[in-house]
Amino acid sequence: MTNKISAYPAWPYVNGPLHLGHFAGTFVPNDIFVRYQRLRGNEVLSVTGSDTHGTPVTVTAEEEGRTPRAVAEEYHALVIQNLIRLGIALNLYTHTDTENHYRITQEFFLKLYRDEYIFKQSDPQLYDVDAARFLPDRYVEGECPICHYPRARGDQCENCGNLLDPLQLINPRSRFAKPGETHTLEVRETEHFYLDLPQFNKPLLDWAKAQTHWKPNVLSFTLNYLRGDGTDENPTGLKPRAITRDLEWGVPIPPEVGDYPNKRIYVWFDAVIGYYSASVEWANDFGLGDAWKKWWTVAPDVQSYQFIGKDNIVFHTVIWPALLLGYGDGKIPLPYDVPSQEFLNLEGRKFSKSAHWAVWTHDFLAAYDPDPLRYLLATNMPEYADTDFKWSEFVRRNNDELVATWGNLANRSLTFAYKNFDKRVPTPGELNADDRALIEKSERALQVVGDAINACRFREGIEHAFAVAREANGYLNQTEPWKTIKVNRERAGTSLYVVLRVIDNLKTALYPYLPFSSNDLHRQLGYTHDLAGTFETRTIAEETRDHLVLTYIPPTTNAGWKPSALRGGEALGEPKALFKKLDESVIELETAKLGKPA
RNA sequence: GCCGAGGUAGCUCAGUCGGUAGAGCAAACGGCUCAUAAUCGUUAGGUCGUGGGUCCAAGUCCCACCCUCGGCACCA
């Protein structure tokens, strides 16, 4: 049975380049998942894009004296380069600064407003006269009214831990003031739109309680959040939340609800709507009409997956479902699973842009190949707990596992067959019990790996495939075709044939993880079509502006998630090493860069 | 402070319903030479953060504490 499966990596902020953590948590698991589902023959839609809005983008723009749009476009283009190089096969990678996204965000806003899920409210807030802007909580500093710590933030005092309102601070200061400057602050009334989340509290809790297939931490976190101090019958976790800001960068408030030239819909409201708007855009960009609706209609064979980092759980298990409930009136499916990843650390510390403690994806991919990185991120994916990226670990896994176990298995078998069996798959004699057992094990690996990927247990899948590769190496050492070829050519050919069948199966099982090398191997095994598709960027023109998008074009022939049918006598491609060994000096070279400006 | 996650072999990580601790890599020893000095076999290696408790039995349940990290709602 074919299922309609959609998979969405979280939208990255484009206020700077992306580091490896962004890929470990969202793009890589998403890609493993969708490449598998496509081979499997399911109908897959996977879209996302750059989140161009939000304060970080405007802050960067101010610092650099540019427009937010210019900043966003620059890093959006860089993300696209990362995605191509790392082979992240999305149907569409767009961004939120498009007319399509504006229109759909406003549709959500209007629908929710008309159904009274959104209300207006006026509140006093600190206004920085010199910077001519209202101050978000964390942009206010002052003396804590409780413990008198002098540098409390507007939302919370770091010293005593009490939650604060910025208006409570004694002698509040604007953080927009540069050192030496004093900005004048006033309390001004400002009107904002609020999403009335309490209306969704009970329906969301009822829904979430049924999601027993979620990861335990995602489920318990969500339930806890929704319950608040209340009960299951009367949960109190949700409070109204402001969805507009006094900003000039972002989606404008729909004119139907009033004239607010200096306010915008705030980023957390519009970004999640991107999943929906990007699906619509995908169909529009490629002339597919309303094909996107297949994945946005409630049906038993429709499932959606959100690949996110743990900091984002609430937005995907509470906020976004609330918007869908309000907008869709029950006709739009809520996320089926939200496989949140924990964090990837770097040499024992958190990634930090300001401390220059980061490995930028574009730097990494300029120096090293994509599959070794995908291998490392897959085998060390932060599925259950934070994990650590270490350069020594990267070199070790590349040299001692990827090259030694898998690359070498392919290489030693293919070169032997190529040299000794006339560049063809050897024609086997009768298979003995060991021969059959190994082939069966590799065929079963497709099932085991597929089930693991389908359940978003990515490490388990790749580890199983590698265990079979190790067995295949052991089989070769036992059968010793380099010896038997001297006395019994058919027996040697049979061993080689068995191993080539196993490799062909493992190539399929590993394709979601290692698409580039699996495609190379596919060719070396003699196949004349590709396993992997290609990437294409396009400039999409709308009425007032253009934007750059990326799309993945699958191969015309779907090789399928099925056992090898390799036959003796078929021509092989020329064998070539799949992976490169890395010199140990890489460790010192790369580690030395950490903590220093680029 | 509140909510949550994690602290298991030298390293990176698994441990489902409580029943004599696992994998990969690294190490030691042995084998092989087809292969990117790659591979294969064997061995060694842990008082499972600390202190209590429940139980015939606890890494696994309960309590306290220590360390690291995330969220705490207008910095996504």
E strands within A444-559? 534-541, 546-553
- Answer whether any strand B atom is within 7 A of the Cβ of A387: yes
How far: A215 CA to B59 C1' (Å)?
21
Q: What is the DSSP string of A453-485?
A: HHTT-HHHHHHHHHHHHHHHHHHHHHH-HHHHT
How far: A120 CA to B72 C1' (Å)?
25
- Provide the pLDDT confidence category of residue A170 given band limits of 50, 70 and 90: confident
- Answer whether any strand B atom is within 7 A of the Cβ of A593: no
Residue nearest to nucleotide B35 (CA to C1'): A412
- Answer whether any strand B atom is within 7 A of the Cβ of A128: no
Question: pTM higher than 0.80, yes or no?
Answer: yes
Backbone angles phi, psi at A366, to 5 degrees: -75, -25
Of chain A, the percentage scoring pLDDT greater than 70 comes to 96
Whether the pLDDT of residue A163 is over 70: the answer is: no
- Answer whether any strand B atom is within 7 A of the Cβ of A239: yes
Cβ–Cβ contacts within 10 Å for residue A219, how many? 18
Give the pLDDT mean for A591-595.
84
Tokens of residue A259, six digits: 């004239």
- Provide the pLDDT confidence category of residue A1 given band limits of 50, 70 and 90: low
Give the pLDDT mean for A400-416.
96
- A481-514: pLDDT as tens digits: 999 999 999 999 999 999 999 999 999 999 999 9
A595 near A357, Cβ under 8 Å?
yes
Q: Which amino acid is at A257?
A: V
E strands within A332-457? 340-341, 344-346, 387-389
Amino acid A597: pLDDT: 73
Its ipTM equals 0.88
Nucleotide nearest to A485 (CA to C1'): B34
For strand B, list residues 284-343 of chain A whose Cβ lies within 7 Å of it: 310-312, 314-315, 342-343
For strand B, list residues 549-588 of chain A whose Cβ lies within 7 Å of it: 577-581
For strand B, list residues 410-429 of chain A whose Cβ lies within 7 Å of it: 411-413, 415-416
How far: A512 CA to B19 C1' (Å)?
39
Residue nearest to nucleotide B37 (CA to C1'): A404
**Strand B bases, protein C-beta under 7 A:** 1, 3-7, 11-15, 23-26, 31-36, 38-41, 69-76
